[in-house]
């Protein structure tokens, strides 16, 4: 039971981090996410000790945990656009906010237990009957994605190359965790997270003119958007999410083809 409680603590820290992220508080967000990672590591250590003491009991508890976790998206305010006194808006003016045809996917992800769903947050959850995800695979990837998103948005606002690189590394580690557990995860259940990672990694790569990395991420994004689900499956992407991913692919394709034509 202690492992489950500590595991829930990691989820709670992650939700607190998203609240800070929604307020544009990068430091508060990353602090809570660091706490979430520590709590998650502690839950794994406790689970290992419990397995040694009572393997069967812990296996049953693992099954209980696995059937109670869902992944949700949380829409953030557009922190890259400032409202002016005259009612107009102004985009962030750093070098990473200008001259890039790709846009950032500005949604955080939260892993929640079905019995702990918090109505305080306006989650984008049109499908309440989604099958649960395995927390040992999804939770750390979610935390790392949110960490990357916080660094990503903060770096764009302040024009920080170091922040952009750190964001990319967090995204990369999140993606690697999902890919390393590919056989244990139904890809249609984490398509939004994978697409968000591909989209935002492509944005950072394009910001540094890393064409090969940009192309790789955009190819993955296109595959997820175009071939993500079968006709009989429920689509886990919201309409606005699908629009963001699709438009990024279209803009990238047009820009890429124009660049090739100019080079020829």
pLDDT per residue, tens digit, the chain (264 aa), is 444 445 678 999 999 999 999 999 999 999 999 999 999 888 777 655 554 555 445 444 444 444 457 789 999 998 776 554 555 556 666 788 777 889 999 999 998 775 554 444 555 554 444 444 455 678 899 999 999 999 999 999 999 999 999 999 999 999 998 888 776 666 667 889 999 999 999 999 999 999 999 999 999 999 998 875 555 455 578 899 999 999 999 999 887 655 544 544
Q: What CA–CA distance (Å, rounded) separates 227 from 246?
A: 12
- Residue 87 in domain: no
Domain count, the chain: 1
Contacts of 117 (CB under 8 A, 6+ apart): 70, 123
- Residue 86 in domain: no
- Residue 103 in domain: yes
What is the domain extent for residue 204?
Answer: 2-79+92-263
What integer pLDDT is reported at residue 3 of this predicted model? 46
Within 10 angstroms of residue 240's Cβ, the number of other Cβ atoms is 12
Tell how far CA 138 is from the center of its chain: 10
- Residue 84 in domain: no
Contacts of 120 (CB under 8 A, 6+ apart): none
Question: Cα–Cα–Cα angle for 111, 116, 117, nearest 5°?
Answer: 70
- Residue 159 in domain: yes
- Residue 56 in domain: yes
Q: Look-up: residue for tokens 């049953």? A: 60
């Amino acid at each position: 039971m202690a492992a489950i409680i500590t595991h829930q603590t990691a989820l709670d820290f992650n939700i607190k981090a998203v609240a800070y992220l929604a307020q544009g508080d990068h430091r508060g967000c990353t602090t809570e996410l660091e706490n979430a990672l520590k709590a998650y590591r502690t839950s794994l250590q406790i689970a290992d000790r419990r397995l040694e003491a009572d393997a069967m009991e812990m296996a049953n508890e693992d099954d209980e945990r696995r059937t109670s976790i869902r992944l949700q998206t949380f829409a953030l305010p557009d922190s890259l656009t400032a409202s002016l006194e005259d009612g107009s808006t102004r985009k962030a003016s750093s070098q990473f906010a200008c001259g890039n045809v790709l846009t950032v996917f500005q949604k955080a992800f939260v892993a929640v237990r079905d019995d702990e769903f918090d109505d305080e947050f306006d989650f984008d959850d049109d499908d309440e009957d989604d099958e649960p995800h395995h927390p040992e695979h999804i939770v750390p990837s979610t935390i790392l994605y949110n960490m990357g998103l916080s660094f990503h948005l903060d770096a764009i606002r302040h024009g920080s190359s170091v922040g952009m690189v750190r964001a990319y590394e967090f995204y990369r580690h999140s993606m690697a965790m999902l890919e390393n557990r590919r056989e244990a995860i139904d890809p249609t259940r984490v398509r939004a997270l994978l697409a968000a990672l591909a989209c935002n990694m492509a944005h950072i790569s394009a910001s540094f003119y890393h064409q090969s990395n940009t192309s790789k991420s955009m190819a993955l994004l296109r595959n997820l958007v175009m071939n993500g689900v079968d006709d009989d499956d429920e689509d886990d992407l919201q309409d606005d999410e699908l629009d963001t991913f699709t438009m990024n692919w279209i803009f990238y394709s047009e820009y890429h083809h124009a660049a090739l034509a100019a080079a020829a």
